[in-house]
Structure 1
Amino acid sequence: MNCSLLQSRAAVRLKEDMKKVVVRPGRAQPPMPCRRVFGVPLKDLHKEGLVINGVPAVVWSVVEYLRSDGLNQEGLFRINGNVKIVEQLRVKYENGEQVKLSEDCDVHSAASLLKLFLREMPDGVICAAMLPRFIQVYQDSGSDTQRERGLKELIKELPDTHYALLKHICYFLTQVVQHHTENKMNVYNLATVFGPSCFR
């Protein structure tokens, strides 16, 4: 009798252990990233503290690297980087790992990472809700001076998070243009690359 009681208790314990095994994720599964960085609204990155001087940390670090190592690189932003390296960098940023761009990648891969970040922004650099107003100002303004004035006024209405990012990128791109004889990226080439990321 004691033997059958022990067997029944062992059976119950085994069932409970089996339930735990089923519920518990398998050890072979890869660890989940601790945070998302790409494809996240700017306000969420700010809430998580993933910014430097009001600019997403990934954008800040890539721009600093390109400013020091990439301004004279021919085909900057036009030549695609190594897809594998870009993905590795993305995973590192999203896992909160330390990234040293000067050691972990090349100029074209870093440039591709920046384009990827901007492309995956859910609302674009220029908020989608404001896009019709930008188009209206562009179509209605008579002279270039009036158009420029109208666009500047609209830019000031962007949310602070979007304004800070746009300002940072534009300032950097003016530096890229200053080296266009070496990198072959003039204003029109850069507009072709970055226009779709800024305006959805």
Structure 2
Amino acid sequence: MEKYSMSNKHGWTWSVPKFMKRMKVPDYKDKNVFGVPLIVHVQRSGQPLPLGLQQALRYLRSQCLDQVGLFRKSGVKSRIQALRQMNESSPDNVNYEDQSAYDVADMVKQFFRDLPEPLLTSKLGETFLHIYQYVPKDQRLQAVQAAIMLMSDENREVLQTLLCFLSDVTSSVEENQMTPMNIAVCLAPSLFHLNILKKDNLSPRAMQKKYATGRPDQKDLNENLAATQGLAHMIIECNRLFEIPHEMVTQSRNSYVEADLHAPTIGELCKQLEDDDGTYQTHMEGRLQNLLKEAREKSKYWMSCSSSDNTELYYKKVGDGNPLRTLASVSGGGSAAICGAEPRAARAPSVGCGPAAMESV
């Protein structure tokens, strides 16, 4: 970014306020789906994308890909509002059968527009825009891959889900006439929050002056074009975006070799535990029992939340400033799935941590 951006435009917005003030964080108890941060959805259900939105994408993918102008044609406002209300009142039991494809598509678009921060995140949104404004075309894929690696887990997972879905929409372009660029024109404003962020950051006087003529300035036009072209490119390259660049893997491997570091395998870890008069299974069982005991005693930082029938769901925030979650789900039979707050590269494959694990409980 420093090489290709303008001298005063490096695409980084990671500034820290000079005076830190403790902000009151909303609890979002009055909301279930719309306007709720992705991290709160993870804490509540173990999944960053609400079940109702997942069902909406499945419905559109299976029933509606032949609809001309999907995401371009507007739905009916009253029916969209009814779909929103249905998601808010019963988020785990939403039925889209016989619903208009355009109403459901508009509801999906509104979900991303109503997020408290853009899907591309407040920190990295400007970086993505500058990649598509200043970085040469032959280097954009690698730059976007690097930017995606800096995203939080929940945003990255939802972005991947959405881009793969939109790629499927464009695969039926002969029926629905929606190319990657056509879809990007319709969805980029909702994903980047461009107009919303600009109005929030301007003083009333500056906003009145800026919009008095009714015409956007050149900077706005350039950023909107970058957002549209960027989203179209990400849809086309969705299968490669989430790969770690080969050069980075090689560099990382070489650094471990030079440091003479060895990451133990699961088998080696089990052997170490056996040498300590224990096994991997007994170690994990002990961790599980301690976790369940904390939940039963309602110790500090554990909070319960509603879930499907016959299931108690608790989540815990690690109090070190990092959004890592420790989450336990206990069914009526006493089984549980644990999502531990280990480092990303050190998660044991035998411990479920994600939608599949949560659905199996």
Same fold flag (TM > 0.5): yes
Q: Determine which of 42, 48, 53 is the counterpart of 1:46.
A: 42
Q: For residue 145 of structure 2, what is the aligned residue in structure 1?
A: 152
Q: Distance in 2 between matches of 1:111 and 1:138?
A: 26
Pairing partner for 2:95 from 82, 100, 104: 100
For residue 176 of structure 1, report the CA deviation from its aligned partner. Answer: 0.7
Structure 2 letter corresponding to 1:45:
H
Pairing partner for 1:170 from 163, 186, 189: 163
Percent identity (aligned): 28
Alignment of 1:64-79 (within 5 A): 64-79=58-73
Distance of 1:40 and 1:50 partners within structure 2: 14
- Counterparts in 2 of 1:75 and 1:135: CA distance versus 1, 3 Å: closer
Higher strand proportion (structure 1 or 2): 2
Match of 2:55 in 1: 61
Q: Are the aligned partners of 1:34 and 1:95 in contact in 2 as well (CA < 8 Å)?
A: no
For residues 174-193 of structure 1, the aligned pairs below 5 Å read: 174-193=167-186
Q: Paired residues, what number?
A: 164
Aligned to 2:77: 83
Contact kept, 8 Å, 1:81 with 1:109, in 2: the verdict is yes
Of 158, 177, 194, the residue aligned with 2:187 is 194
Structure possessing the higher radius of gyration over alpha carbons: 1
Q: By how many angstroms is 1:46 displaced?
A: 1.3
User: What is the distance in 1 between the residues matched to 2:139 and 2:30?
Assistant: 47
Distance in 2 of aligned mates of 1:193 and 1:136? 20
Letter in 2 for 1:65: Y
Give the structure with the higher percent helix: 1
Q: Secondary structure at the match of 2:123?
A: helix
Amino acid at match of 2:140: R
- Give the letter for the 1:90 counterpart: R
Greater CA drift, 65-74 or 76-85: 76-85
Q: CA deviation at 1:137?
A: 2.8
CA–CA separation in structure 1 for the residues paired with 2:107 and 2:132: 30
The secondary structure found in structure 1 opposite 2:128 is helix
Aligned-residue offset at 1:86: 1.1
Q: Which residue of 2 aligns with 1:5?
A: none
Q: Is the aligned partner of 1:141 residue 2:142?
A: no
Structure with larger RCO (C-alpha < 8 A, sep 6+): 1
- State the partner residue of 1:132: 126
Q: Distance in 2 between the 1:45 and 1:74 partners? A: 32
**Structure 1: runs of 5 or more not aligned:** 1-32
CA RMSD of aligned residues (A): 1.8
User: Following the alignment from structure 1 to structure 2, what is the Cα–Cα distance between the partners of residues 34 and 101?
Assistant: 24
Shift of 1:92: 1.4
**What secondary structure sits across from 1:63 in the alignment?**
helix
Q: Is 131-140 or 152-161 further displaced after alignment?
A: 131-140
The alpha carbon displacement at 1:36 in A equals 2.6
* TM-score for both structures, normalised by structure 2: 0.43
Task: Quote how far apart the aligned CAs of 1:34 are.
Answer: 6.1
Residue-by-residue CA offset, 1:139-166 (whole Å, 9 max, x unaligned): 3422x22111101110121111111111
